[in-house]
Structure 1
Amino acid sequence: MKRLFASTLALSIAATGAVAQDMLMDGYDRAELIRTRDITGGNIYTINEADDEGWDSAYVYDAVGPDWNQIGEIEDLVLSRDGQLIGIVAEVGGFLDIADKHVVIPVENVSLVAVDDETYSYVTRYNEEQLEQLEDVDEGWWD
């Protein structure tokens, strides 16, 4: 009888966990969800256009453009306390991590791009020189 009770208890706990997980994802198609680990470490590209030439941060790019230049790497995502994406921390400039700089690019100046089914990049209207002029947000800046 003890084994039956223990087995029943273990099964109900496992089922509760599965139901809770499904409830967390309720209303979302898992194929449409993106994890931050699929973004961080990705590249940042520039579309090489001036700031006022047709930039639309709501536009969805389905691939990296053939004329885009890779100008940085995604170091982190910046969220507000209510979970809204505020911007991304980009590593720009430098060579082999020497003299590079970390800057925050506001969300209205970037657009997510799927590289493949598992990795993502961002594209921005800023060029590398414009990003290097932004304030440095090294680790001390956050304290």
Structure 2
Amino acid sequence: MKRITIATSCATALGLLMSTAAIAQDEVDVLSTWSYDTLYAEGWSVENMFDETEIIDASGEDVGDVENVVFSNDGQVLGIIAQVGGFWDIGDTHVYVPWDEVTMQTGIQQIRIPVTEENVSEYDAFGSGWFDEEVISAEATDTTQVVNDDLVAGQNVFKATDLIGDYSYLQDNARYGYVSDLIVQDGALSAIMVDARASGRPGYFAYPYGPRANMNTMRYDMPYGQEQVDTIENFDYGQLESRISR
């Protein structure tokens, strides 16, 4: 019985290894036909949203800014974290709003949310105590709620700032650069932007997003070797049609 168990375990491990290798090879194959054309035409920059997008309420009044974007590990946009109400009686407030309650106006120049000065107090505050660490789970991402500015993403979800700034590595464990931006397309994370100066390649380069098991590390591994990444051209932010420039 023990020998059968060991053989089964080995077969299972081998199957997982082969599956992982197949996924990595598929990602490399995708890179061979990778193009920026649809990103330029349909994508939007998370960093640009942080810097320039206005949050407006139902009446069209500017009430705040985008502080973060929350994703599922497979890249789906789940919602945004907005800082609102600096001029309200309650002062600055952070609110998580599910993506299906967000309306994008004129590209990403403005985002309309259902939260107003009159109804913000109706949304429950996340967490059970002032000193509790607020951890948002995948199950809680469908509810508008007041949150702390240091809200932590739980299992199977992550915030944009959990990934932006991470070091990026190639297959041979060589540090390639760092994640400088995320490009979203059709409600999902489509590309990771890498500043590759650390490897001697000036400029920015966009690569297909690939989920990683642990989003709480400062490392983003890409399934490519140096020869593959050298074939990718510089990303031209000026061609990103949704980009806001003030």
SS at match of 2:34: helix
Deviation digits for residues 50-104 of structure 1 (CA, Å, limit 9, x no counterpart): xxxxxxxxxxxxxxxxxx1111211111111111111110101234xx9411110
Please show how residues 11-30 of structure 1 align to structure 2 within 5 Å: 20=31, 23=34, 25=36, 28=38, 30=40
Q: In 2, distance between residues paired with 1:36 and 1:92? A: 18
Q: In 2, distance between residues paired with 1:138 and 1:79? A: 18
| Aligned twin of 2:44 | 34
The answer to whether the Cα contact below 8 Å between 2:66 and 2:81 also exists between their aligned partners in 1 is: yes
Establish whether residue 47 from structure 1 lines up as the match of residue 58 from structure 2.
yes
Q: In 1, distance between residues paired with 2:121 and 2:65? A: 13
What amino acid maps onto 1:126 in structure 2? V
Distance verdict in 2 for CA 1:139–1:45, change over 3 Å:
closer
Distance verdict in 2 for CA 1:106–1:127, change over 3 Å:
same
Q: TM-score under structure 1 normalisation? A: 0.56
Q: TM-score under structure 2 normalisation? A: 0.35
| Aligned twin of 1:65 | none
Q: In 1, distance between residues paired with 2:32 and 2:93? A: 39
Q: In 2, distance between residues paired with 1:103 and 1:124? A: 10
The answer to whether the Cα contact below 8 Å between 2:64 and 2:86 also exists between their aligned partners in 1 is: no
| Aligned twin of 1:72 | 64
Distance verdict in 2 for CA 1:114–1:38, change over 3 Å:
farther
Q: Give the unaligned 5+ runs of structure 1.
A: 1-18, 49-67
Q: In 2, distance between residues paired with 1:21 and 1:104? A: 38
| Aligned twin of 2:106 | 114
Greater RCO (Cα-Cα under 8 Å, separation 6 or more):
1
> C-alpha root-mean-square deviation of aligned residues, in Å?
2.9
The answer to whether the Cα contact below 8 Å between 1:39 and 1:121 also exists between their aligned partners in 2 is: no
- Give, in angstroms, the shift of residue 35 of structure 1: 1.0
Q: Give the unaligned 5+ runs of structure 2.
A: 1-29, 126-145, 154-246
Q: Once superposed, which parts of structure 1, at least 4 consecutive aligned residues long, lie more than 6 Å away?
A: none
Aligned identity (percent) is 28
Q: In 2, distance between residues paired with 1:108 and 1:87? A: 8
